Amino acid sequence: MRFIILIISLMMISCQNENKAKFEITNNSGNTIDSICIKSFSHNLNTHYLKLEHSESQTYFLDMTDIPQVDGDYLLSFRINNNLEKRRFGYFTNGSPLEQRTKIEIRKDTVIIKPIFDKY
């Protein structure tokens, strides 16, 4: 009986396919950055925003569970010194991220984006 309960529990857990992209964002711009948002083309109503002070880092998760099984890229947007900045980057396939996480460093005059992949 316990074995059957264990099997059913494992099946229920395996059916919960959360599909999230993970981004580690660091602010090295010397200024406060506001309204940081990452979305895919189908996340037009994404309301998850971050605010980072200088030298602050946070992890940002983008829920991709309901994205169609298509390929696409990400859009990073943020406000710095009252200017809206936008950067397209990365790639996902079949509605899922390819990388384990992506490190994003926002500097004064550039944005460095480094995807981190699992060992294959």
CATH code for the domain in which residue 89 is found: 2.60.40.2890
Residue 105 lies in a domain: yes
| Closest by CA position to 104, among listed 22, 21, 20, 23 | 23
* CB atoms closer than 10 angstroms to residue 47: 6
Alpha-helical (H) ranges within the chain are: 2-14
Residue 52 lies in a domain: yes
Pick left, alpha or beta for residue 66 (phi over 0 → left; psi -120 to 50 → alpha; otherwise beta): alpha
Residue 3 lies in a domain: no
Task: Domain count for the chain, please give it.
Answer: 1
- What's residue 11's pLDDT? 53
Residue 56 lies in a domain: yes
Residue 7 lies in a domain: no
Alpha carbon of 109 to those of 32, 85, 115: distances in Å? Answer: 14, 11, 20
Burial class (CB in 10 A: 0-12, 13-18, 19+), 55: exposed
Residue 85 lies in a domain: yes
- What's residue 16's pLDDT? 53
Q: Tens-digit pLDDT profile for the chain (120 aa)?
A: 666 665 555 555 444 567 899 999 999 999 999 999 999 876 556 678 999 999 999 999 998 888 888 899 999 999 999 999 999 999 999 988 989 999 999 999 999 999 998 765
Residue 13 lies in a domain: no
- What's residue 44's pLDDT? 59
Which residue range forms the structural domain that includes residue 67?
A: 18-116
Give residue for tokens 């229920």. Answer: 12
Enumerate residues 6+ apart whose C-beta is below 8 A from 108.
28, 29, 30, 31
Give residue for tokens 């059957």. Answer: 4
